[in-house]
Structure 1
């Protein structure tokens, strides 16, 4: 219920009134105020907003105003309307993104620092703003799974595939994970992933991902930080370095 109501940005007290009406059935304002343990004046203000949103309906019964929650079919229509609004907003954002990139060409490199698991997960999610592209990652994979969690990677890679983002990854030999334990790391065409193992004498604990004009670095859980550098020159240099190691690495099959 809370997850559903969060879609409509309800305040806690508004959600309480809605739930009291949902579980208590049709009732008047006085009865609802008692059920939700708030004043009658407050309940009228809240009901007015819930009606405006479309979650609650109002009827007259023997000259008394009665309130009830809207049926699931109506709520579903409201959610679909929100989906359309989000879809429209995304299209607008795509246009804004093009303007942003045009206006910021030739600007000085930009640096952002991220600390802690949540911030690092968000830094990785930013990759999903792109689509129909290829990302090159130099990745101590076991350490990254430990740092960002398996559940995060499972959701991340599902969305990545949906956005047609291909991965070319280099892992250290000592960091090779069990594919049985982490099915989301399988090397299959449908998962849009190529993986190679670096030469045995090449080991690393700092990972990085290259795409667009950005390079994103992530440390191990020991240091628990990352940073993003937005620089076309750096991205091209790191990509060249990646390709050299890629060409002397062995494919994972």
Structure 2
């Protein structure tokens, strides 16, 4: 057997040379080991100590002289078995660490992100981005739709086109609004994948929900749109919306 095989299972070159020397010589002194293995005197005792720790070498002292002998070669299998068990323990520990690290990483990935859009053009930009983000089978939810976006012809036309394009993508929309807007919402009533209900609750802002996003539209002199990306926040809003949907009427 050459030393490469022993090195491949985890021994150093020096350990492999010394172990093979002991297998060939049997019980012998360090001087013979040095002479045969070519491992220097300054290193041989460290090598022998490591082999003893691995259970591959035994030592006895006779008349104040230290003698060394190779353990039964089956100790190589036992040594590898111990290494295997140690690796398995490390893998188990690593799996737990990986799970914890993934939790931390997920929190980083799910960090809240807020964008602000202002003015009519900002409003158009965010709705175009929503269209790009929505895919077939997704759901768009909104409540608090008010007078201003319906009365403003430019906005009303843009929103209608938004819903037409949304319907083309086969994205379902559910809208909750105040009864005061009923007549003005008739222009949207024939759109596909468009469902709406009414509630007597008046909302101070307009809210839209899709995927992990929450849009808040505030009407001042010019519209201001806040878009928050947060899985947890969106989940809470959707739960509230679904409860409100059940209690709303057609």
The aligned length equals 143
1:164 counterpart = 2:167: no
Distance 1:149 1:234, change over 3 A: same
Per the alignment, residue 210 of structure 2 pairs with 211
Question: Equivalent residue for 2:44?
Answer: none
Contact 2:146 2:177 (8 Å CA) reproduced: yes
Structure 1: 4+ residue segments shifted above 4 A = 102-105
TM-score w.r.t. length of structure 2: 0.52
**1:110 is matched with which residue: 113, 131, 135?**
113
Cα deviation digits, residues 28-64 of structure 1 (max 9, x gap): xxxxxxxxxxxxxxxxxxxxxxxxxxxxxxxxxxxxx
CA contact (8 A) 2:177 2:197 kept: yes
Q: Measured at CA, do residues 104 and 220 of structure 1 come closer, stay the same or move farther in structure 2, by a change above 3 Å? A: same
Query: Partner residue of 1:231?
Result: 230
Determine the C-alpha separation between the residues in 2 that align with 1:234 and 1:103.
15
Question: 2:151 & 2:221 partners in 1: Cα distance?
Answer: 11
Q: 2: CA distance between counterparts of 1:128 and 1:160?
A: 7
What is the rounded CA distance, in whole Å, between the counterparts of 1:139 and 1:224 in structure 2? 14
Tell me, yes or no, if structure 1 residue 139 matches structure 2 residue 144: yes
SS in 2 for 1:239: helix
Separation of aligned partners in 1, 2:117 and 2:183: 26
Which one of 120, 124, 130 corresponds to residue 123 of structure 2?
A: 120
Over 3 Å counting, the alpha-carbon distance change for 1:105 and 1:166 in structure 2 is: farther
Q: Give how far 1:105 is off.
A: 7.0
Whether the 8 Å contact between 1:143 and 1:205 is mirrored in structure 2 is: no
- Assess, with a 3 A threshold, how the Cα gap between structure 1 residues 145 and 105 changes in structure 2: closer, same or farther: farther
Pairwise CA RMSD:
2.4
Q: Deviations over 1:194-220 (max 9, x none)?
A: 10001x2x1124111111110111112
How far apart, CA to CA, are the structure 2 residues paired with 1:243 and 1:197? 13
Unaligned runs of 5+ in 1: 1-101
CA distance in 1, matches of 2:110, 2:249: 38
Q: Does the 8 Å contact 2:213/2:231 carry over to 1?
A: yes
Q: For residue 192 of structure 1, what is the aligned residue in structure 2? A: 193
Query: CA–CA distance in 2 between the matches of 1:156 and 1:122?
Result: 11
Aligned counterpart for 2:181 among listed residues 139, 150, 175: 175
TM-score (norm 1): 0.51
Greater C-alpha Rg: 2
| Residue 151 of structure 2 corresponds to residue 152 of structure 1 | no
Matches within 5 A, 1:78-97: none
Mapped partners of 2:135, 2:233: distance in 1: 21
